[in-house]
Amino acid sequence: MSDAGFSAPRSLHPASIVLGVPLRQLIQGLVFPALIGAGAGPGPRFAVVVVAVILLVGGIGRLLAWQRFRFSFDGEVLRVDEGVLSRNHRALDVARIQQVEVDRSLVARVLGLATLRVETAGGSGEAEVELRVIPERDAVTLREALRAGKDAVTGAAAATPGGAVSGVGTADTTEPRDGREVVSMTLGRIVLAAVSGSRLLVLPAVLAASLQFLGDASELGGGSLDPETLGRRILALGIVGIIVLLIPASVVSATAVGVLRDWDWTMRRVGDDLHVSRGLLSTRDSVIPLARVQLVEVQRNWVRRGFGYAAIRVHSAGGGDDDRVTIPLVRDTEVDGLISQLLPGVAGVPMLRSHPTGARRRAVFRWVRASLVPTIALLAFPGLVGELRALGIVLPLIAAGLGLVEYGQLAHGRTDRVLAGRSGALSVTTGLAPLVKVQGVTRRASPFQRRLGLATLTAHVAGPGGDLTVLDLGEDAGRQLHAELVVAAADPYLPDIVSRQRRTVTPGQLW
């Protein structure tokens, strides 16, 4: 199909000699030798020489690397040749691609360049192929070519137009090229998402700590005003002041980061792919084929739960940790609709059944056990003030309370297409794994669980996003679910999902 002139080997844009180096690596590579040079050698002039030599050697290395780097795409296989001393040739079958991303950093945008990242379900967190940097136009064209190539191989769109049936309905052949917008974020939501984001969950802890200091400070002020007490008092007030200033500062910076990162956040459905674009200064376009979605998580931390909001994370099998796609903020009422878009054929979060009462004891036990170490440390450590000791006594009680809260949230459910599990006390996560993506099942039970008639079940899915774990469900329910999942995983034959992937797979080509 359209290989758009990529079949002949190409090199990257010359600017990649400079832009190809990640900033962090550059700083690490320069600052440490410079510091060591300045410290050990005869003064700052030596450091300048060291930096110059490193820059020169690094520059020559980059130049050679750029000269050696070649990539090509012939409609089926993406080939990359690289390496100065040890050569590396890679060939990537287009059918194995899990996720494609186009990144534009600020500098790259000014120069009209972009980074194209192609990910497969490899074990490493790094992208399988990273073209850093190529002209933006080429990046977009190549992405389209990869998609067209994939369609040609899977034969979904081109070969069998009538068979291009997705789980929710017939894929619209007259669909606009830009696709259909699934969800987008207004500025207000992005700000709200940033403010209610998980990083601010430390706020209560910071507040409590500052109150503790405040308490100490006021106590100290009661006695005689000898210089030493006065000094400690000023110090305590200073710390409180810094903390009080830090809180709004962290809110502002989190908001700024969130707005810069998620500006104009839009998710579109183009054919059978999800396109997500975001970012103000540096932008990122990700493409995830719907058939590659391994796990969807609905996350509600305590702030968001209070206001009726949630975030939705979409895990594919490719990519590192931060390459997962997260819908920053959606209303609770929108969750089911979005899930039906992300997981075709799934109407929403299925009916969840709560777990047997034995799970309550274990939830409390788990939380109290987690609080045991700080508690013992607080109680046994000599020379602590009374308030801290009191905290040591209160801590297990708080933990027990959280355990009760978590038991209220523990639940699981399944339909003929999806397995769902919910857990968490303050931050509640509901995971949904399509049954066709379950790779294997593990059921485990500790002695304590066995006595309470409980088991924990893990459905393994591909990718770095982790697995779906159903915590503390009943022993019999666990055994039954285990057996059902094995059958579903062994024979993921679902009529209307299969019909859109008409394709023969040879045993060696499982991906």
- Binding residues for another protein (CB under 8 A): 98, 121, 123, 291-292, 294, 317, 436-437, 439-447, 450, 458, 460-464, 466-467, 482, 485-487, 489-494, 497-499, 501-505, 507, 510-511
Choose between 313 and 460: whose C-beta lies nearer to another protein: 460
Choose between 400 and 498: whose C-beta lies nearer to another protein: 498
C-beta of residue 272 within 8 angstroms of C-beta of residue 291: yes
Q: Give the alpha-carbon dihedral of 233, 200, 196, 279, to 10 degrees.
A: 120
Q: What is the nearest approach in angstroms of another protein to the Cβ of residue 233?
A: 46
Choose between 318 and 328: whose C-beta lies nearer to another protein: 318
Cα separation of 488 and 438, whole Å?
Answer: 8
C-beta of residue 456 within 8 angstroms of C-beta of residue 445: yes
Choose between 178 and 491: whose C-beta lies nearer to another protein: 491
Q: What is the nearest approach in angstroms of another protein to the Cβ of residue 376?
A: 21
Which residue, 286, 280, 291, is CA-closest to 344? 291
Please name the residues in contact with 25: beta carbons below 8 A apart, sequence gap of 6 or more.
none
Choose between 153 and 411: whose C-beta lies nearer to another protein: 153
Q: What is the nearest approach in angstroms of another protein to the Cβ of residue 252?
A: 38
Q: What is the nearest approach in angstroms of another protein to the Cβ of residue 439?
A: 4
Site of tokens 């207000």: 188
Using alpha carbons only, what angle is made at residue 460 by residues 458 and 463, rounded to the nearest 5 degrees?
140
Q: What is the nearest approach in angstroms of another protein to the Cβ of residue 125?
A: 10
Which residue, 139, 113, 2, 12, is CA-closest to 63? 12
Q: What is the nearest approach in angstroms of another protein to the Cβ of residue 488?
A: 9
Q: What is the nearest approach in angstroms of another protein to the Cβ of residue 431?
A: 14
Choose between 405 and 489: whose C-beta lies nearer to another protein: 489
Cα separation of 179 and 467, whole Å?
Answer: 31
Site of tokens 């047997």: 356
Choose between 129 and 194: whose C-beta lies nearer to another protein: 129
Choose between 219 and 496: whose C-beta lies nearer to another protein: 496
Q: What is the nearest approach in angstroms of another protein to the Cβ of residue 505?
A: 5
Which residue, 317, 266, 309, is CA-closest to 291? 317
Angle between helices 44-68 and 23-40 (to 10 degrees): 150
Q: What is the nearest approach in angstroms of another protein to the Cβ of residue 313?
A: 17
CA of residue 125 relative to chain centroid, distance? 12
Cα separation of 343 and 65, whole Å?
Answer: 42
Q: What are phi and psi of 226, to 5 degrees?
A: -75, 160
CA of residue 79 relative to chain centroid, distance? 28
Please name the residues in contact with 197: beta carbons below 8 A apart, sequence gap of 6 or more.
254, 258
Q: What is the nearest approach in angstroms of another protein to the Cβ of residue 288?
A: 13
Choose between 345 and 466: whose C-beta lies nearer to another protein: 466
Choose between 354 and 499: whose C-beta lies nearer to another protein: 499
C-beta of residue 92 within 8 angstroms of C-beta of residue 129: yes
Cα separation of 35 and 356, whole Å?
Answer: 60
C-beta of residue 22 within 8 angstroms of C-beta of residue 108: no
